[in-house]
Structure 1
Amino acid sequence: EWPETGRLALYLLGLRATCPPLEPGPQRSLVTWLKYYLEEDWAGSRQHGHPLTSYYQYSLGVLALCVHRKRVREEVIRRLLAAEHHGRFGHAGGSAVGKGPWGQMGWWHPRMGGVRQPGSHRVRADTEAVAALAFACLERERLVGARLAAELRVATHRARRRMDEAQGQDGFFGNIYSTPWAMQVFIATNACRKQLAYGRAMGALLENLDAFTTAATMAQALPVLHGRSYLDIASMHCQEEPDTLTPISPQLPPEMLGNMTVQLVVECPEPRCPQRRLYDWPVPVSAGASLLDVLRAAAVQGPHNFTFDTQDTPQGPFLSRVLGLEARQQKQSYWQLLTAPSTSLQMGVADYRPHDGETLILRLSEW
């Protein structure tokens, strides 16, 4: 059974940000569990050469413990430091958050429903960013000795320099969802005002805020929009925080009347699929339907025998199987989502809403 390192780390980061009541019992128990999961990951890295989950989860665990001002064994930190130094963040390990074979955020993004950006630097953008935040936190909170702190400082600046060099022409570090992580590194190291890359990334982020539709993705973008990073959570003075949170009623998207038709195409490369184009049919759906709604409609309309499977993740459903063909991490394959002729979607299957007459392509691809 996979350790829950990433899922619990994200929960504890969120819990700390809400200034929980002073009763330490339940929170202390969760921190203890996170320490246990991180030790399991560390033991796995000794045995297999990589964590049982992923370096993304491993980094999240170190970061969350640091934000809660809990010391982490030096061997655990040095394992992550060595991975950064030797460029091992490309290893996918297990799942990004929790269990399952659906990859890690440093390789492809389950919240994007199978989207992956090409290029080795772009692939591991958020893994490297979370590790850099963990390094910066350990140094800032003085949870390590002077010698290790100096090594962490060098690694943090090295990671930030790589992100700067790997920024895409679109302004993103990796893709839209890994960009807030990278921007937090610039904020945490007081480099956001000095770096043109940060300004370009902020411009790209502001132009694409409608892509952040889940709690998990919004939680990464909101600190950046306020010029903060997760490291600021560690120094919050909760007694001074005004109790201004009020419940709100969720606003439902406006109802769209009428119907539309979307062309759905499924492609699989040779030699695995000699036919290559496995499915190419129009799918009638209600106006305003999501891509996931299109897939569901295709599955029931027949007689073309369209099938698909998704896996639930904290960031939304992840497309894992189409027409019986599974995206397998071991074979470095994933279902890429595109709009014709060949534009990768920047949203997941549950978030993207096609327009009438659009051609959507599900392409089994390799990284």
Structure 2
Amino acid sequence: MAGRNLCLLLAGAERCMVVHSVKWFEHTHGRFYKMLHLIIISLIAFVSGKPCDTEGSNNELLLTLNKNLLRSLETQEGLPNPSVHLALRLSNYHNLAKESEHLNKLKNHLHSDIQNSLSNSQSVVGLLALYTLALKSSCYDLNSVTFTVSENNENLLTHLKKQMEQEKEHIAINHRPLTNYYQYSLGVLALCISGVRVNNHVSNKIIKAVEHEHFKHGDAESTDTYAMAGMALQCVKDAGSHVHGADELQTALSKIKQKILAAQRTDGHIGNEFSTGLAVQALLAMGSQVDECAASMEAMRADARSNTYHNPMAISQTLPALQQKSYLTVKNKNCLHEDDTLVLEPIDPVVVTPSETNVALTVEVVTSSGAAAVYSLDVPKGSSLLEALQLLKGKNVGFTFETESSMWGPFLSLVNGEQARQSDRRYWHLSSNSTALSEGVSDFKIEAAQKIIITNKSY
């Protein structure tokens, strides 16, 4: 089964079937079919030379995703998103004027927000790392970017190193980061890509976490975290800075690759629809050949065509993978002779009319103590979960909630007066008919009668 999964990932389902057919012929009929073997191998070679494409449809799809990401800059709420900027800069096509405008927003609005967080001694290592990568992708001078904390003015990379030291010390004492291993790995990646030598004591924390399988969110292993750790450790390996313990580093990279490959589903996704992009990026970064016709690539293209990736953050992690690039590509980016042909055509505004069909929705809230409260209501078909919860809150039946913003959109922070905070290692877990949701409250749509369970869980 593992061999078949690997074949599906690297070669695509159709060619995988051809290879298995050839082996069956040889085993069953011997030399008589050697000529047929040669013919089929030639056919495979011919097919391999052609991408899985129909009259440029894949190129059109990439262009559409690129434009959707560019349009999101005009409609985004809250702070400018460094992940979106990073994906736009890694793309093959550019609108340099709009990208430059967004870069200025990052340097002003996002910079001010990070400054406030640092001044309040908050751990923002993940956001600081993404900001670093976004600036680096625009070939911006990182040494000119500074923050002032306690009257000390120091550059961005110095602050990122200090944040990483705090995370490292927290792991040493509490056996987990202040934030999580995804953000910790992102910090290592940003430092390494920026040319900073990553201390062995810092990268060793990722290696040990891989060894002891600490990359979990709740009860499930986190494909996203394995992917980010893989890119971080591969960058460290390529930089040649981890000379002591090179065997342990390679062992960790091998295990990460195994974990990612083992997470591939029969439909081609790795983990889920929204972790496949990062997983493919990691495989590419670690030297695996992810063919244009691989099942994972086809799965992402199918998702893109069905508008699964309508969230800009989802597109930002998927588009580089579909163009067979990873975040490691930023390291050697020179920003010279870039294409500047991406033009946004005017689009007619979409008028959303309320659905006349209602569906039954049951909402169950389970607090940290295990106490449960159940509510029922009818909501218009196609409502987002956020809209449904707002309707429920308006019924004054005792249900209350609050949200906080993130780069993925709003997330639940307070439900029925109880918090689930990162600082407490807790979160509100969402499921529909006992299946965990892979989308947030503003993205998940209520299309049929169902039961939503909101549970205060630890991680």
Residue matched to 2:298: 203
Q: Is it true that 1:364 corresponds to 2:458 in the alignment?
A: no
> Matched residues in 2 for 1:365 and 1:84: separation?
27
Structure 2 CA distance for partners of 1:187 and 1:304, relative to 1, 3 Å: same
Quote how far apart the aligned CAs of 1:282 are. 1.8
Quote how far apart the aligned CAs of 1:6 are. 0.5
Q: Which amino acid aligns with 2:185?
A: S
Q: Is it true that 1:8 corresponds to 2:128 in the alignment?
A: yes
Which residue of 397, 400, 418 maps to 1:307?
400
SS in 2 for 1:314: coil
Residue matched to 2:237: 139
The equivalences for 1:69-148 within 5 A come to: 69-90=195-216, 107=217, 120=220, 123-142=221-240, 144-148=241-245
TM-score (norm 1): 0.77
Residues paired across the two proteins, number: 327
> Matched residues in 2 for 1:23 and 1:249: separation?
35
Which residue of 158, 180, 188 maps to 2:285?
188
Quote how far apart the aligned CAs of 1:353 are. 2.6
Quote how far apart the aligned CAs of 1:222 are. 1.1
Contact 2:143 2:156 in 1 (8 A): no
The equivalences for 1:1-367 within 5 A come to: 1-20=121-140, 22=141, 24-26=143-145, 29-90=155-216, 107=217, 120=220, 123-142=221-240, 144-193=241-290, 199-209=294-304, 210-244=307-341, 253-268=350-365, 272-273=370-371, 276=372, 278-283=374-379, 285=380, 288-300=382-394, 302-327=395-420, 334-338=428-432, 341-355=433-447, 358-364=449-455, 366=457
Larger Cα Rg: Structure 1 or Structure 2?
2
Quote how far apart the aligned CAs of 1:61 are. 0.2
Quote how far apart the aligned CAs of 1:295 are. 1.4
Structure 2 CA distance for partners of 1:31 and 1:251, relative to 1, 3 Å: farther
Which structure has the highest helix share of the two?
2
> Matched residues in 1 for 2:362 and 2:290: separation?
45
Structure 2 CA distance for partners of 1:265 and 1:328, relative to 1, 3 Å: farther
Structure 2 CA distance for partners of 1:84 and 1:251, relative to 1, 3 Å: farther
> Matched residues in 1 for 2:386 and 2:168: separation?
37
Structure 2 CA distance for partners of 1:258 and 1:266, relative to 1, 3 Å: closer
Contact 2:223 2:270 in 1 (8 A): yes
| RMSD after superposition | 3.1
Quote how far apart the aligned CAs of 1:148 are. 4.1
Structure 2 CA distance for partners of 1:242 and 1:200, relative to 1, 3 Å: closer
Gaps of 5+ in 1: 91-106, 109-118
Deviations 1:180-199 (A, max 9, x none): 221112111221347x9x92
Deviations 1:242-301 (A, max 9, x none): 34465776875442355442323122569833xx56111223x4x65322112112222x
> Matched residues in 2 for 1:255 and 1:51: separation?
43
Gaps of 5+ in 2: 1-120, 147-153
User: After the TM superposition, which of the residue ranges 59-68 and 344-353 deviates more from structure 2?
Assistant: 344-353
Contact 2:132 2:142 in 1 (8 A): no
Structure 2 CA distance for partners of 1:260 and 1:309, relative to 1, 3 Å: farther
Contact 2:182 2:224 in 1 (8 A): yes
TM-score (norm 2): 0.63
SS in 1 for 2:358: strand
Quote how far apart the aligned CAs of 1:228 are. 0.5
Q: Which amino acid aligns with 2:428?
A: Y
> Matched residues in 2 for 1:247 and 1:23: separation?
30
Contact 1:310 1:317 in 2 (8 A): yes
